Amino acid sequence: MTKENSDKLGVKVGFWASFKENFSIVAIGLILAVLIRIFIAEPRFIPSESMFPTLSIGDRLVVEKVSYYFTPPQDHDIVVFTPPPQLQVLGYDRDQAFIKRIIAHEGEVVAVKEGIVYVNDQPQQENYILEPPNYNLNSIVVPQGYVFVMGDNRNNSNDSHIWGFLPQENIIGKAIFTFWPPQHLGKIS
């Protein structure tokens, strides 16, 4: 074998070894990205004003999925969820995600009277809402395995006061922080 042929063979072997290594790195990166999105966290986009003033149209946020494997959702958590059956019947796609705040859990009694939300006959301090609700809701008990959710923009939110209870199994995760636009960057409280 001549030196010229040996050099060409070395370049080909080097190219394929480098290609294989780079391909492996990209494949591992893609697999990790998919696994992280499925089991740990995912980005979401806010398409409506239902959570204003906490979240605005166009905000992008991270939804954390891990904590609900170990602890149940808590009052006032802002959760992302798939539409429950009663919304799917109305034409909402199962893949469409909603975002609302948990107001009450199973066994708790929810009511809305004269612009105030009550849980177990206790008025709720809701300094995060846009304005008080302009509707009433008779006392209802949240059934086992469900939560009651509402948007922070009480009068412009398609939430539990309209369509009923949310099965806990529909919850995808908890909204933890916004990352876009830059002026909204920060933890969601």
Answer with the residue of higher pLDDT: 150 or 2.
150
Q: Supply 186's token pair.
A: 């920060």
- Mean pLDDT, the chain, whole residue set: 85
Q: Supply 17's token pair.
A: 């070894």
Which of the following CATH numbers is that of domain 42-187: 3.30.9.40, 3.40.640.10, 2.40.50.100, 2.10.109.10?
Answer: 2.10.109.10
Instruction: Tell me if the pTM is above 0.75.
Output: yes
Q: Supply 11's token pair.
A: 């370049």
d(Cα 88, Cα 98) in Å, to the nearest integer?
12
The domain segmentation of the chain, as residue ranges, is 1-39, 42-187
> Confidence band (pLDDT; 50, 70, 90) for 179?
confident
Tabulate helix, strand, coil % of the chain (nearest 5).
Answer: 30, 30, 40
CA angle 66, 81, 42 (to 5 degrees): 50
Other Cβ atoms within 10 Å of 119 Cβ, number? 17
d(Cα 148, Cα 125) in Å, to the nearest integer?
16
Looking at the predicted structure, is the pLDDT value of residue 8 above 70?
no
**CB 42, CB 173: distance < 8 Å:** yes
Active-site residue numbers?
50, 100
User: For 157, left (φ over 0), alpha (ψ -120 to 50), or beta?
Assistant: beta
How confident is the model over 131-148, as pLDDT tens digits?
999 999 999 999 999 999
